[in-house]
Every structure is written in structure tokens, then in C-alpha cells.
Structure 1
Amino acid sequence: MDVHARVRAGWEWLKGPEPWTRRALAGDLVAAAVIVLFGFAIEELDGGSALRETASALTVLGLVLLRRRMPAGTLLVAAALSAVLPGTLLVTLMLGWSAGRRIVGAGRAVGVFALTFLLYVGGTAATEWGEAPPMLLLVFTTLMYLATVLTPGLTSRYWSQRRTLLHALQERNARLMRERVMVAGQARLRERQRIAQDMHDSLGHQLALISVHTGALEVDPALTDRQREAVGVLRQASVAAMHELREVVGILRDGVEAPVREDEQVARGVAGIEGVVAAARAAGTEVALRTAGRPRPLPAAGDHAAYRIV
């Protein structure tokens, strides 16, 4: 494995399970810089040396970068070192927030924060023993622990669990909406199939009877030419109605409109109006067709609607 692959593997390990973008990395570095500056001020007030200030700065930087991968470990280390390196005191705010959000399991979180309290109090007592009354030292250390570790941890855990709960509720609501749409779609499909079946069984049968009887009547030698022509118009109308009924039934049953041949499409548009008029005249109806203006192409929906209206 070359150096580049090792660096990449180390970077992937450092990011942890969560995505770590450049923006998040820049935010961590800025937060670490601010904490280091405040740490320098704390070290100056405590009379720390330059070596201790440098150690505090490097410790803060390392803990901030490792908090995503090891939220519990970095919090425990910070609690143990806060008494020895006062410049790392404020980093517990960030580490407490990160640990409260990322530690899995309530029992483990309680154990980590309890151990952090013991290390926090024990380290302070070991370094400050004799300089202040024990009870006052214990109360002060406990208040500092509550302010810098426990409060950020509880706030972060509440916020994280609330966000997780809201996300789960949103997913459940979206799933219910999808299921509702599917149920409604299935209900509509069943109703359309029922209507299609009824139309096919009733209207289809009646139109078939009309077509058969008019076909037989058309070849009856007792009819005159005029009567035979009228019966032919009825037979053609019944056949055309059966074709259209099949298309309607297919649309109701499958939800997909059947492809229409080009000649049928023309016959059902403005160009087919003359055929409708001619059929009506052949059946004995007085019909007058008047046109005005220049012919121009129409959209398919308008062309079909004009034919249907006529």
C-alpha cells in the first residue's frame, strides 16, 4: 500500500460513520482555533508555560478532529486532562455535545458521562487539593461539569433524538400517503374494470344483435333499394359503435388508450364530418352543412371534439 492509499484510508477512518464534508472540516478547524485562543487566555491566567500552552493547543486540535470517530474516548481524555492542561477546559463543551449526540444506547451514555464526572472531579481534586476547602472544591467542580459537559450532552441528545423522531414520522407519513394512493388507485382500477365488464356484457351484446339483424335484413329481397340503403346505414353505425365500445372498454380496463390507425383518426376529426352528414342524409334526415373561413390544422383534442359535437 503506497503513502497516498494510507493517507486516504486514515482520512476515511477519521471521518467516522457520518459524512464529513469540507464545510464540516472547516467548521471544526474554526471551532478548534477559537477554543485554542480562549485556552491561551486561560493558561496565561493560570501562569502556564509556553510548552503547556502548545500542548493544550495540540490536544484541543486532536480531540476536535477525533470526536466524530471516538466521541466517548475524546470526552474522557478531555475530562482527565482538563485539570493538568487548563487550556483544554472549554473543549469539553464541544466534546460533550458530540458525545451526547453520537453515543449509541442510553445505558452507555450514562456510563460515559458518569465516568467523565469522576475523572473531572478526581483530576481537579488531585491538582487543587489543599488550596481550597474540599466541599467548596467539590461544588465548584460539579457546577463546572454541569455547565461544560452534561448540559451540552443532554441538549445534543434531546435534539438528535427529536430530529430522528421527526424523520421517522415524516417517512411513516410519506409511506402512508403512498399506500393511500395505491389503495385509491386499486379501487379506481377495480371500479373501471367493473364498468368495462358491464358495458362489454350489456351494450356489446345489444350492438352485436343489432349488427347481425341489420346485416340479415339488408339482404332481404323483399326490401326496396331505399329501405336496403337505410338498413345498411344502421348496420354500419352499429359496427362503428362496436369498435368504439371496444376502445372505451379497453381504456377503462387497462387505463391505456388503444392505438388508433391514421385513417380512423382522420375519420373522427373535422375531415370526417362530411361522412357523418352523408350518413345522416342516407338515413332520411334533412341535414345542411355550411363551412366558413379557411381550413387550418387543429390540435388533436380540438379536432376530435369538433367531430363529437357534430
Structure 2
Amino acid sequence: MGRGSLWRRGLRDWIVDTALFLFAASFGVLAAAERLETPPMGVPAWLFHLDQIIGVLACAALWTRRRWPVELAVALVAVSAFSELAAGAMLVALFTVAVHRSPRTSMAVFGLSLLTGLIYVVLHPEPDMSPLPLWLFGVALQGAAAGWGLTIHHRRRLVLSLRDRAARAETEARLRAEQAQLQARETIAREMHDVLGHRLSLLSVHAGALEFHPDAPPEDIARAAKVIRESAHQALQDLREVIGVLRAPVGELPQPTLAGLRELVVESRRAGMRVDLCAELEGDVPDRVGRTAYRIVQEALTNARKHAPGAEVSVRVGGAPGREVTVEVANTAPALRPGSAVQRGQGLIGLAERVALVDGRLEYGPAASGGWRLAAWLPWPP
């Protein structure tokens, strides 16, 4: 609502403004009635009539209090130094400043009102009352008006602060949800790469063997076709599992364990790879570390199958509680495509991220024998 715009006031504003106007007018009427019953000695009639006119104008000016609260309050405080009938309007103005302006401004106007109140009791002494009690009575009224306004002011500030805090909390919750969604997408992307990359590399190897050896014995062709069929079926199953969890929490993604390492090696051997496995683990490896070790071996076997066909691959996994889990996968120089090298693709980048998440170390690069070596050291708490 525009401050001071009468035609834009809401119903509640109209009720409040009307009530405050009636309060100020009633205050002036009561004061005027008292003066009519006991006119002050030595005060001319025209001055009393002028005071009434000023009181009416002061009450009428209250309709502009929302637009110019400080200016109106200062003017009415100054007028109240000699006009008793403007006192009600002055109290309403003090209340308005306390509600709509800062406490510092409110206290400044309140201090000015105390000074003008002192001037009034000096200019208009009561014959049967000391000036001090009369001034203290005025201080009590002015303090009540300013205090009530400050209470409303602080309450509104508190409500705005709570709304702002709620808005910030909602924004932070939305950002956390977006971040969680991004992390979920990254996790799903890594899972799809690790799972499908392994299966599809098996398909590629056997399909390539059939393409380059069309005259192979029927039993070899049948065996290769069986592996292709099983790998394609398993790839579809893995794809269904990964896609199926898109509607589930990230923690429910299908996760392998280190116990499936031997099955992974056997699967690679069925695909024609020469893989030697040596696993020496003392105790049960924590799930997160074991899952990371499994993915390291899986990615290394996939890379060896794609970039070093025919090479011998050795897999070494060892460790104990309180020491590191050591994972080392190395292959000799490729037998079919000499000079082929593993490129730094998304798989190795994903492995580096996985290892970093468990505070481990990852190394990879050409081996002295002309092949490729990948090694990782993962912490195993005692």
C-alpha cells in the first residue's frame, strides 16, 4: 500500500486511521469541555477559539501521517507547546513515528516532545497544581504512545526477519536438493559407465573374434555366440537395474562388493582374457572401500580388454585392518595390436574421483615391460 494514499488504503488501514482520528478528536473534545466549564484566568476568548481551530486542523492532519510521519510529528509536537487541544493528535503522531521509523528517529522526536511538554506547563500553569506533576503526567502519556509504537515496530521487524529467514531456508533447501540431484546424476553416470562398459567390451571382443575368424570351428563359434548372448542379457539386466533406481534414493543404487571379484575375473576369462588373480585380505573389507576396489579392477580389466587384447593381466589385492588395501592391475604388452595405449578417458577420471572420495591414492601409466599398470591404495580403518 502506498503510504499516505487514501484511495489505496485497505480496510484494516481505514479502521486503524479512523480509530486514531477519533481518539485524537475525543481527547481534544474532552479538553475543550473542561476548559468551557472552568475557563482559565486571564486567557482571552479568541485565544481559546484559536486553540480549538488548531486542534481541529491537527486532527485532520492525521490523515497524512502515513506519508509524512516524522514531519507531521515534529509539527504537532511544536504546536503542542502552546495548544492543549492538539495534544491528542500529537500522541497519535508520536505513535506513528515509533511504528514506521527507526527507534533512533522515534527517540529523537520523543525527546523533543518532552521539551515542548515542559514549555507547555511553564506557559500554562495550573493554579491548584505544581508544574512538575503535570509535566510527569504528560511524560507518562507520551511515553506510553511511543512505547506502544516501538513494540509494534519491533514485532513487525521480527515477523519480517522470520519471513526472510524462512525464504532463505527455502532457497538453501532448493540449492541442497539441486546439489543432491547433481550428485545423484554423477553417481548414476559412473555406475552406468562401469557396469555397461564392462559388459559391452565383452560383446565387442567376441563379436570382433567372429568377424575376423569366420572360418572358426563350429564349437568356437557356438561358444562365442553363447558368451555374446549371455553378456547382452546381463547388460540389459544391469541397464534395467540402473534405470530402475532413477526413481529411488541414490543410496539404493545396485552396488557390488569385493566378494564378487572372483566372479568378475572368471567372467573375463570366459571372454578369452588371461587373468591371474591373487587376493590376500585379512578380514572383511568395509563396504565403501571394497566397492571402490571392485570398480578399480573392473575398469582395469575393461581397459585391458579394449586396448591390450591378448595380453596377460595380473590382479593383486591385499590388505588388513589398520593398513591400506592395495589394488594393482598390470598387463603385458598387447599381443594383437602392439603399441596400443590406454587413453585418459572418463573411466580413469571416474576412478580418480572414487578413490579421492575414500581418501585413497591412484596411480596409472605405462609399465617397464611395455604394458600398462594401474595401482591404488585405499585406507582400511582398524
Q: Of 76, 79, 86, which aligns to 1:78?
A: 76
The equivalent residue for 1:163 is: 156
Asked whether the equivalents of residues 200 and 249 of structure 1 are also in contact (C-alpha less than 8 Å), the reply is: no
Q: Which has the higher contact order (CA 8 A, sep 6+)?
A: 1
User: 1:147-203: per-residue Cα shift (whole Å, max 9, x none)?
Assistant: 2x12221232233124313422442354145324423542453254134314412x2
Show structure 1 runs of 5+ residues with no match: 1-11, 256-310
Q: Is the 8 A contact 1:75 1:116 kept in 2?
A: no
Q: Does 1:183 align with 2:176?
A: yes
Instruction: Could you tell me which runs of 5 or more consecutive residues in structure 2 were left unpaired when the two chains were aligned.
Output: 40-47, 251-382
In structure 2, the partner of 1:114 is: 111
Aligned: 1:56 with 2:55:
yes
CA distance in 2 between partners of 1:224 and 1:118 (Å):
110
Is the aligned partner of 1:248 residue 2:248? no
In the other structure, the counterpart of 2:96 is: 98
Distance in structure 2 (CA, Å) of the matches to 1:235 and 1:223: 18
Q: What is the CA–CA distance in structure 1 between the aligned matches of 2:30 and 2:90, rounded to whole Å?
A: 16
Task: Please tell me whether residue 66 in structure 1 is matched to residue 64 in structure 2.
Answer: yes
* One-letter identity of the residue aligned with 2:199: L
* Equivalent pair of 2:76/2:90 in contact (CA under 8 Å): yes
Where 1:87 maps in the other structure, the secondary structure is coil
Is 1:209 paired with 2:201? Answer: yes
User: Which has the larger share of helix?
Assistant: 1
Aligned mate of 1:237, from 226, 229, 233: 233
Q: Which residue of 1 aligns with 2:13?
A: 24
For the Cα contact (< 8 Å) 2:4–2:64, is it kept in 1? yes
* Partners of 1:162 and 1:26 in 2: CA distance: 20
Per residue, is there more strand in 1 or in 2? 2
Question: CA separation in 2, counterparts of 1:71 and 1:117?
Answer: 18
Q: Whole-Å Cα distance in 1 between the matches of residues 227 and 166 of structure 2?
A: 62
Give the whole-Å Cα distance in 1 for the aligned partners of 2:55 and 2:205.
Answer: 104
- C-alpha contact 1:100 1:157 (8 A) present in aligned 2: yes
Residue 126 of structure 1: CA displacement? 0.6
| Distance in 2 between residues matched to 1:102 and 1:67, nearest whole Å | 10
Corresponding residue for residue 283 of structure 1? none
The residue type paired with residue 86 of structure 1 is E
Please say if 1:41 is aligned against 2:36. no
In structure 2, the CA distance between the partners of 1:159 and 1:226, relative to structure 1 (3 Å rule), is same
Per-residue deviation, 1:128: 2.3
| Change over 3 Å in CA distance of 1:173–1:185 after alignment to 2 | same
Rounded Cα–Cα distance in structure 1 between residues aligned with 2:21 and 2:218: 108
Query: How far apart are residue 120 of structure 1 and its match?
Result: 1.6
The TM-score, its normalising length taken from structure 2, stands at 0.49
Pair 238,212 (structure 1): closer, same or farther in 2 beyond 3 Å:
farther
1:139 and 2:155 matched: no
Q: Do the aligned partners of 1:207 and 1:241 also contact (CA within 8 Å) in 2? A: no
For residues 96 and 169 of structure 1, what CA distance do their matches in structure 2 show? 27
Contact 1:100–1:153, Cα closer than 8 Å, also in 2: yes
Q: Which of residues 200, 208, 224 is equivalent to 2:193?
A: 200
Post-superposition offset of 1:30? 4.1
Is 1:123 the counterpart of 2:126? The answer is no
Query: Cα RMSD between the aligned structures?
Result: 4.1
Contact 1:100 1:109 in 2 (8 A): yes
Counterpart Cα distance in 2 of 1:175 and 1:225: 65
Say whether 1:154 aligns with 2:150: no
